[in-house]
Amino acid sequence: MAKALSKRYAIGVDYGSNSCRALVVDLTNGDEIASHVYPYPSGEHGILLDPKDPNLARQNPADYIDGFITSVRKSLAQAKKVKGFSPDAVVGLGVDTTGSTPIPVDRDGMPLALRPKFKNNLHAHAWLWKDHTGHAEAAEITEKASKDKTGYLAKCGGTYSSEWYWSKILRCKRVAPKVFDAAYAWVELADFVPAYVTGTTAPEKIRRGICAAGHKAMYHEDWGGMPKADFLRKLDPALVPLATRFTHPPVSSENKAGDLLPEIAKQVGLPAGLAVAVGAFDAHHGSVGAGVKPGTLVKIIGTSTCDISVWPLDEDLADIPGLCGIVPGSVQAGMYGLEAGQSAVGDIFNWFVRHLAPQAVTGKGDAHVNLTRQAEQLKPGASGLIALDWNNGNRTVLVDPLLTGLLVGQTLHTTAAEIYRALVESTAFGALTIINRFEEHGLTIKEVINCGGIAEKNAFVMQTYADICNRPMKVSRSAQTCALGAAIFGAIAGGAFKDVASAQKNITGTKAKVYRPNKRAAAVYAELYKLYKQLHDAFGSAGYTGKLDNVMKDLIAIRQRQRGAGK
Amino acid sequence: MAKALSKRYAIGVDYGSNSCRALVVDLTNGDEIASHVYPYPSGEHGILLDPKDPNLARQNPADYIDGFITSVRKSLAQAKKVKGFSPDAVVGLGVDTTGSTPIPVDRDGMPLALRPKFKNNLHAHAWLWKDHTGHAEAAEITEKASKDKTGYLAKCGGTYSSEWYWSKILRCKRVAPKVFDAAYAWVELADFVPAYVTGTTAPEKIRRGICAAGHKAMYHEDWGGMPKADFLRKLDPALVPLATRFTHPPVSSENKAGDLLPEIAKQVGLPAGLAVAVGAFDAHHGSVGAGVKPGTLVKIIGTSTCDISVWPLDEDLADIPGLCGIVPGSVQAGMYGLEAGQSAVGDIFNWFVRHLAPQAVTGKGDAHVNLTRQAEQLKPGASGLIALDWNNGNRTVLVDPLLTGLLVGQTLHTTAAEIYRALVESTAFGALTIINRFEEHGLTIKEVINCGGIAEKNAFVMQTYADICNRPMKVSRSAQTCALGAAIFGAIAGGAFKDVASAQKNITGTKAKVYRPNKRAAAVYAELYKLYKQLHDAFGSAGYTGKLDNVMKDLIAIRQRQRGAGK
């Protein structure tokens, strides 16, 4: 579908949990001509941990800055080897990041953690999305917000999460008052990076994204923007001024955050003054890079998943309980952005391989590959196992970080591959629970487009998702949809396209291979899903009043049938 | 306490799940002067399996015969090197075995599996105790027996198990009618071995033990012996004659099964005509070898556990629901023998090491040792995990083989050592559930004596049992209490002692080291046990009507407290 554009390019910079990636995209055809990944050097795979508290996950803001410089510089160096490319043909740059990942900053908008005084204080660093230390604060916010007639929770699924902005700030107030007092404001990573590279970090200058503000910080036009003082005061009076620090209202990522600072431009090798788009979360940009549109659910499958869809602003849409948010403009202008997700997917598989079945057990080569090879030989239900995918809590639909993993059905013969398969299945059951929730509230999910390394590389996982969700699974053509989406917004901010839809026509697409559900597998999984749902409701919801004594017996009955035993 | 006996010896032969062991015992002081272990050569570690059905577990009767000859011969060869020993000073031989392990036999009492025609037919082999293929038949027997006014189930805990005699025979009738038709009778392994070596296998000659008959075959004086024809007819008319095959009523192991056949005596190097005691189950003999008496619970901890106690026949004793049986004389004459047990203990640890954390993962040396070393560094509750010890079903108190393992509380940081510890703890919670059941029905458990390799070698497991059961844990002085108990009965049958109590005075004892409960650990475990009991009742009992949504949260709260987090 390449149009007769002269060769123009945009750059997307995508901040993940362990590294950041810069991607150079040809805007005539979506070709990804160069990229570079920068692993964060601090902590364990870029994450600062506390051995005493598995809920804690922080990051060093210095890694973000170094990551921008190195990844953009090196991707450009690589792009220069491509015929026809020139840095002057780059029209814009976009940024997406994990979130909610708020950073305590000073009066100038600079992270406290960069100062020697706070360098070794974990609370002064970035509070990574998966930090769950604020679970008590989240419960308190949920409780107080649910009593407030403003309806703060209606747009974020009815429960405020420990992963989100205010839970983390309130937690900091309580456990690290010195850090809290030193922080003039708290800025989302998605807003910090574009501000930093355009010299607009000061709270009166910064152009924030509606994505982070709307999904995580309770920003909504219905109540005039940030949550009101009387509500914040009930949580802690010290929160009140934090809601009024920023001058400009948040906007969607089609807008420009600023112009690339000359000193940064020089370091990375781009023209000074280049348009930098307003930042947003990785999944939101990723959904754009994967081709999101009304009726399409995009699943960004990584260590966790984000599930994103959009719905026209001019059509009716009910509030959906358990969703991470319904925010006008958070994905693209003119659409509601709907966000859901699973707190751990790839992280669960990695946990299993790291602690229970590493390569030393599974044989030569990559443990994931070996386990997948064994797991795909098994029949659905033949292991007798079922698991809950809650090793990192449940984001959608229960919004509860104080949930944990569960495995049931193991015998004395249960193998590592059987458990690996059960874990894969558990994440698919979690995915189906989200799709069902969307559809129960009037949204149609006509197609599912998957992206991320797992969707890209693991046909067994995709087939399992197709069988369990009983829907065809498509895979995004790009392996780097987040960075690609960021580049699309960079291009729009730089004037190369008028909107997302016209950019997507040139740039996005899905692979030829579509995973279609196997009818027999789907029928067995429909039985297993009933058991998953029973466990899900019994362990996850206070309202469950049913029984559980059927679970082990039903699993055994399915197992015996699927193995052809006892005939 | 050695009395002034002249040096006399007895031999105990103990048939375990994977091997048999012969032990030569000095009757003046209990010294175990020689022993030899014979691993069964057939199948996987001596067990014939069906990859299609994890419930199936059979054994080759030829292994039992070879095992007797080899183990006795080699242990005697070893004993001859001990000063003062002579085969002529051996006064008797006793035998204990796993059970219920019934063997289909012909008119002469010889196993069908020894015939070429049935050699490759798994159903014609010995049905090992842990074979659970007859679970539907067990449920049917339970249902029909519970409607029968005879009260067949009152003496075996209210539920008839798939591990037991009639479940297996009825199962065979249904799945292998040719084997069933060829079988003139079904004889327990515990009865077969003494009969075989004394030439009394023929049903009119065999001297059966009350232990197997009373605990597993529904034999009780209350209804005149074996179950009545009108009851068996309701299960299957073909079962009726099987209850009348044997001429002699079963008796306790103080009695003689017969005299050692000259041809066997010659093969093993013992005097012909040596007294051979009536056989019984390993745990029952083991409890005698460990020093069982009223108020003492003996735990034989191996791949599974048997928990044995005794109570004087002349004192009142209520029926105890969920027990494997209350049988007069099954442990020793003049006492009720009470049997309970856990379907898997060591088997669960072995499963974990085999499939999920072998030595390749845990480091150099033995994986159990490495995991134990890591696990004992952790605090109770600090992993946030809890498990159900049901990988092989639940024997006591639920008597349900259609139950499976469960693990809850795993995060993305959960380690193999934490899971190993949770599995150890789960078996201790299972042990406590049994002790509580005894005490709820009027029996006092003043002391617990543990035996078996795990009790012997693993101080961490024993300390965990002490903390969780909140009782001191003693360990039997002998590492081979089953074989020692068998030798005691051999000695009694041979006239060296008048009864068990007088033999125990000379022969049995406990080690100096006693594991005493740590108060702080016991308090945490009391909290965790409530959660175990919740899961136990919810998954194991149809009567549970409570909730479960507290479980994950309570585990997290205990975890955080025990780690000292969030302060």
Residue B336's closest CA among B318, B311, B308?
B311
Tokens of B492: 């009694």
Using an 8 Å Cβ cutoff, are B538 and B548 in contact? yes
Q: In this complex, which of B348, B405, B556 lies closest to A404 when CB atoms are compared?
A: B556
- ipTM value of the model? 0.84
Contacts of B538 in chain A (CB under 8 A): 538, 547-549
Residue of B nearest to A405 (CA): B410
Residue A319's pLDDT is 82
Q: In this complex, which of A52, A556, A565 lies closest to B404 when CB atoms are compared?
A: A556
Q: Specify the residue for token string 């917004």.
A: A489
Sign of CA pseudo-dihedral A444, A447, A452, A454:
positive
Percent with pLDDT over 90 in chain B: 88
**A122-158 residue pLDDT tens:** 999 999 999 999 999 999 999 999 999 998 988 777 8
The predicted model gives A405-410 an average pLDDT of: 98
Q: Do B544 and A548 touch (CB under 8 A)?
A: yes
Q: Do B411 and A404 touch (CB under 8 A)?
A: yes
Å between B364 CA and nearest CA of chain A: 13
A&B contacts, CB < 8 Å: 165
Residue B129's closest CA among B161, B100, B97, B93?
B100
Å between A254 CA and nearest CA of chain B: 37
3-state SS assignment for residue B139: helix
Residue B4's pLDDT is 41
Residue B325's closest CA among B239, B247, B217, B407?
B217
Task: Give the list of residues 6+ apart from residue B481 with CB closer than 8 angstroms, or none.
Answer: B285, B286, B287, B289, B290, B298, B300, B451, B452, B508
Taking the C-alpha atoms of residue A30 and residue A373, their distance in angstroms, rounded to an integer, is: 33
Residue A152's pLDDT is 92
Residue A295 identity: G
Would you give the DSSP letter of residue B243?
Answer: G
Taking the C-alpha atoms of residue A331 and residue A15, their distance in angstroms, rounded to an integer, is: 17
Taking the C-alpha atoms of residue B549 and residue A541, their distance in angstroms, rounded to an integer, is: 6
Task: Give the list of residues 6+ apart from residue A535 with CB closer than 8 angstroms, or none.
Answer: A386, A388, A406, A408, A548, A551
Using an 8 Å Cβ cutoff, are B73 and B257 in contact? no
Q: In this complex, which of B175, B542, B565 lies closest to A53 when CB atoms are compared?
A: B565
A86 preceded by cis ω (within 30°)?
no
Q: Do B410 and A405 touch (CB under 8 A)?
A: yes
End-to-end CA distance of chain B: 57
Tokens of A47: 């994450």
Taking the C-alpha atoms of residue B155 and residue B215, their distance in angstroms, rounded to an integer, is: 8
Using an 8 Å Cβ cutoff, are B404 and A549 in contact? no
Greatest alpha-carbon pair distance for chain A in Å reads 76
**B414-473 residue pLDDT tens:** 999 999 999 999 999 999 999 999 999 989 898 999 998 899 999 999 999 999 999 999
**B500-548 residue pLDDT tens:** 999 999 999 999 999 999 999 999 999 999 999 999 999 999 989 889 9
The predicted model gives A279-307 an average pLDDT of: 94
Residue A135's closest CA among A394, A366, A312?
A394
Q: Do A408 and B410 touch (CB under 8 A)?
A: no
**A461-479 residue pLDDT tens:** 999 999 999 999 999 999 9
| Residues, chain A | 567
Residue B189's pLDDT is 98
Taking the C-alpha atoms of residue A89 and residue B364, their distance in angstroms, rounded to an integer, is: 58
Mean pLDDT of chain B: 95
Q: In this complex, which of A175, A414, A552 lies closest to B403 when CB atoms are compared?
A: A552
Contacts of B360 in chain A (CB under 8 A): 360-361
The yes-or-no verdict on residue B566 having pLDDT over 70 is no
3-state SS assignment for residue A564: coil
* Residue A244: pLDDT band with limits 50, 70, 90: very high
Residue B350 burial (C-beta neighbours within 10 Å; 0-12, 13-18, 19+): middle
Q: Is residue B543 within a helix (H) or strand (E), and if so which, with residue range?
A: none
Mean pLDDT of chain A: 95
B459-469 and B367-375 helices, crossing angle to 10° = 40
Q: Do B416 and A392 touch (CB under 8 A)?
A: no
Tokens of B190: 């515990």
Residue B442's pLDDT is 87
Taking the C-alpha atoms of residue A18 and residue A297, their distance in angstroms, rounded to an integer, is: 25
What are the start-end ranges of the E strands in B178-295?
185-188, 256-259, 275-277, 280-281
**A411-447 residue pLDDT tens:** 999 999 999 999 999 999 999 999 999 999 989 898 9
Contacts of B172 in chain A (CB under 8 A): none
The predicted model gives B64-76 an average pLDDT of: 98
The predicted model gives B356-384 an average pLDDT of: 93
Using an 8 Å Cβ cutoff, are B522 and B470 in contact? yes
Residue A321's pLDDT is 86
A7 strand-pairing partners: none
Å between A551 CA and nearest CA of chain B: 7
Residue A393 identity: G
Residue B565's pLDDT is 56
* Residue A565: pLDDT band with limits 50, 70, 90: low
The predicted model gives A197-219 an average pLDDT of: 97
Residue A91: phi and psi, rounded to 5, are: -100, -15
